[in-house]
């Protein structure tokens, strides 16, 4: 390996270009700062790299498959999950249609879904763009779950609005479960036929099914094509319509001329200087090691890699790692609480036509203090979540051989939909990321992830599974093909909490502006800062709004010479 120092002086270096890093880089560059954005993965070209341009797209590996932790570069030591509470054995998952869930004693190994690439996990995400509801910022005071945030909905509202405009979010402002707001930048998607069917059942149950708010613009934004309703967001949008961060915030930042993006550059260490400040970062690109220096460093590697880097940078003066005087780096990991049923109708509903998650039911987002369930949760309808999408996935998943298989294809194709719920997990210090004894090829320690369920989590999973089954029955479905929950099979797509924000340096890692309590020129702008999960809503828009708020704060500090 050779070592070199990047000579240009940057005002800021941002590490990681996903939901948080991309938006922070944009916020800083648009405000006049010179920014270096270092991204471990490569950049993707939608028309060239994503598989849906080919008829056999369902058989092709996803473009970013090798960058996902489950299949490619493993950062987590795979080991058995937590012991399962057998009182909830009925929540067990089946993996194939018609299969009875197997009894297990432990959870499967922790499975973290993320992408290394310019745009981070937003390359893979389904574009749900949710403002967290007001109550989700005060869950401890209002219904006794977790901690209150050091920021309120009102603090974030202007940043939510800015992020929505950058993304061209499509939505309907008439959502009685959310704070009043102005129009969305682009009109809401029309409901798919499947969602219309399920809306009627929801109404009969006294619930309200509403169009989802999505970063899949219904009109052209910044010269990009509007969403073509192909349902392929998780494979990568071949039309470049999905508002992943590479096509939105990073492009805008590049237009300022003040952002330098460097892909395939993995940051390995932070360099500490006098006065407990970060002087810069050390990174590897191909076979060379580089150093980059900046006045301020922002970490945005996601809720596993950010604590990993901080914990791995131990020294005599910082025996617990960087920014970890509280001992909380890596703790209070929040994973995804998900329960779903995949069901079949007796007729075609063609749920695969339209955005992957085009509707949501928010009736259960606000728990009551007297209720048994203390986690807010949100139900949804998806044509693709259960694994059935186009003809080939049906052919692979449906049972039978020869004529029986052909008959199953004829009777099942276009009749299947998945009803699901996502809940807020109770934050607990014991759910955490720690360093393992083994190292990867760059010499960085792997991590162990310990994540189990509290009583509140199990009650929420149970309640969601019951509700989605209720919804399926009320919709007149013919058959339940499979159920899956994260009780036994983790599917951690919404991960956060490992460097949480707060006002007290004893109980949090960063301030309400993402600034380390210990290191004055170190900021964190990814999912790790989230103290909670928004009562079941999806996190990216909140990560993006918080990153914009942090960027604005850094600019103000720099102007006052306080960095
Ligand atoms: C299948 C799926 C669907 C989802 N759907 C939605 C949705 O519809 N709506 C929603 O709000 N959320 C969704 N999410 C969650 C959402 O994608 C994440 O919450 C969000 O992207 C997290 O943002 P982040 O900035 O913390 O991390 P990421 O977006 O993961 O970005 C981290 C970046 O850091 C880079 N990096 C890591 N280590 C290093 C290093 N050492 N040096 C340099 N770079 C590094 C990575 O390559 C990556 O680009 C989904 C997630 C998945 C997996
Ligand atoms: S649903 Fe829309 S945004 Fe998603 S992949 Fe298809 S065209 Fe692209």
Ligand nearest to the CA of 125: 1
CA of 43 to the centre of ligand 1 (A): 14
Average pLDDT over residues 85-103: 87
Exposure b/e, 63-102, CB count within 10 A at least 16 = b: bbeebbbeeeeebbbeeebbebeeebeebbbbeebeeebe
pTM: 0.97
pLDDT of residue 5: 60
| C-beta of 19 in contact with ligand 2 (< 6 A) | no
* Cα 20 to Cα 303: distance, rounded to the nearest angstrom: 11
pLDDT tens-digit series, residues 362-402: 999 999 888 899 999 999 999 988 888 888 998 998 888 99
pLDDT tens-digit series, residues 185-244: 999 999 999 999 999 999 999 999 999 999 999 999 999 999 999 999 999 999 999 999
Ligand nearest to the CA of 241: 2
* Cα 215 to Cα 200: distance, rounded to the nearest angstrom: 26
pLDDT tens-digit series, residues 132-165: 999 999 999 999 999 999 999 999 999 999 999 9
Atom 27 in ligand 1: residue holding the nearest Cα: 302
pLDDT tens-digit series, residues 418-429: 999 999 999 999
Question: Please, how many CA atoms are within 13 Å of residue 383, restricted to the half-sphere of its CB?
Answer: 29
Q: Which two tokens stand for residue 349?
A: 């509903």
CA of 303 to the centre of ligand 2 (A): 26
Ligand nearest to the CA of 13: 1
* Cα 91 to Cα 85: distance, rounded to the nearest angstrom: 10
Average pLDDT over residues 75-99: 90
Pocket test for ligand 1, best of 17, 23, 114, 422 (most atoms within 8 A of CB): 114
Under 8 Å between Cβ of 17 and 118: yes
Q: Which two tokens stand for residue 344?
A: 């079949």
CA of 232 to the centre of ligand 2 (A): 5
Secondary structure class of 324 (helix, strand, coil): coil
Ligand 2 atom nearest to CA at 240: 8
* Cα 443 to Cα 108: distance, rounded to the nearest angstrom: 27
């Amino acid at each position: 390996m050779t070592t070199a120092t990047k000579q240009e002086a940057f005002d800021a270096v941002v590490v990681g270009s996903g939901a948080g890093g991309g938006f922070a880089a944009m916020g800083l560059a648009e405000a006049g700062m010179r920014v270096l954005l270092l991204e471990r993965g490569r950049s993707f070209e939608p028309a060239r790299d994503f598989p849906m341009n080919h008829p056999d797209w369902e058989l092709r590996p996803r473009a970013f498959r090798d960058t996902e932790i489950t299949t490619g570069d493993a950062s987590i030591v795979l080991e058995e999950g937590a012991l399962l509470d057998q009182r909830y054995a009925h929540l067990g998952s089946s993996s194939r249609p018609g299969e009875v869930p197997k009894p297990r004693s432990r959870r499967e190994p922790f499975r973290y879904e993320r992408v290394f690439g310019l745009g981070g996990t937003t390359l893979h995400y389904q574009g749900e763009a949710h403002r967290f509801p007001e109550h989700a910022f005060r869950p401890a005071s209002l219904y006794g779950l977790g901690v209150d945030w050091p920021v309120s909905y009102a603090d974030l509202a202007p940043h939510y609005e800015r992020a929505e405009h950058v993304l061209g979010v499509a939505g309907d402002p008439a959502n009685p479960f959310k704070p009043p707001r102005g129009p969305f930048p682009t009109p809401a998607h029309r409901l798919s036929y499947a969602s219309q069917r399920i809306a009627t059942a929801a109404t009969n149950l006294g619930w309200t099914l509403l169009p989802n708010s999505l970063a899949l613009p219904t009109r052209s934004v910044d010269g990009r094509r509007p969403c073509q309703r192909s349902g392929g967001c998780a494979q990568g949008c071949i039309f470049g319509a999905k508002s992943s961060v590479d096509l939105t915030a990073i492009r805008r930042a590049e237009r300022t001329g003040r952002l330098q993006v460097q892909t395939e550059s993995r940051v390995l260490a932070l360099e500490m200087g006098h006065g407990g400040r970060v002087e810069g970062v050390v990174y590897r690109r191909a076979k060379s090691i580089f150093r980059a220096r900046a006045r301020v460093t922002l970490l945005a590697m996601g809720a596993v890699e950010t604590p990993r880097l901080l914990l791995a940078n131990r020294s005599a003066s910082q025996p617990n790692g960087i920014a970890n005087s509280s001992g909380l780096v890596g703790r209070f990991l929040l994973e995804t609480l998900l329960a779903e049923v995949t069901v079949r109708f007796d007729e075609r509903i063609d749920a695969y036509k339209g955005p992957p998650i085009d509707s949501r039911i928010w009736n259960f987002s606000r728990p009551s203090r007297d209720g048994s369930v203390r986690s807010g949760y949100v139900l949804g309808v998806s044509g693709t979540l259960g694994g059935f999408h186009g003809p080939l996935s049906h052919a692979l998943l449906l049972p039978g051989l020869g004529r029986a298989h052909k008959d199953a294809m004829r009777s099942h194709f276009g009749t299947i939909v998945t009803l699901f719920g996502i809940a807020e997990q109770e934050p607990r210090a014991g759910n955490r990321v720690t360093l393992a004894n083994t190292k990867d090829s760059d010499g960085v320690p792997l991590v162990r992830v310990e994540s189990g369920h509290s009583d509140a989590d199990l009650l929420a999973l149970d309640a969601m599974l019951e509700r989605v089954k209720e919804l399926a029955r009320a919709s007149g479905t013919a058959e339940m093909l499979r159920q899956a929950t994260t009780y036994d099979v983790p599917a951690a797509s919404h991960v956060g909490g490992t460097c949480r924000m707060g006002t007290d340096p004893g109980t949090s890692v960063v301030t309400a502006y993402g600034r380390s309590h210990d290191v004055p020129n170190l900021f964190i702008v990814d999912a790790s800062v989230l103290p909670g999960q928004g009562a079941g809503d999806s996190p990216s828009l909140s990560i993006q709004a918080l990153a914009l708020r942090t960027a604005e704060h850094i600019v103000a500090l720099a102007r006052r010479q306080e960095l």
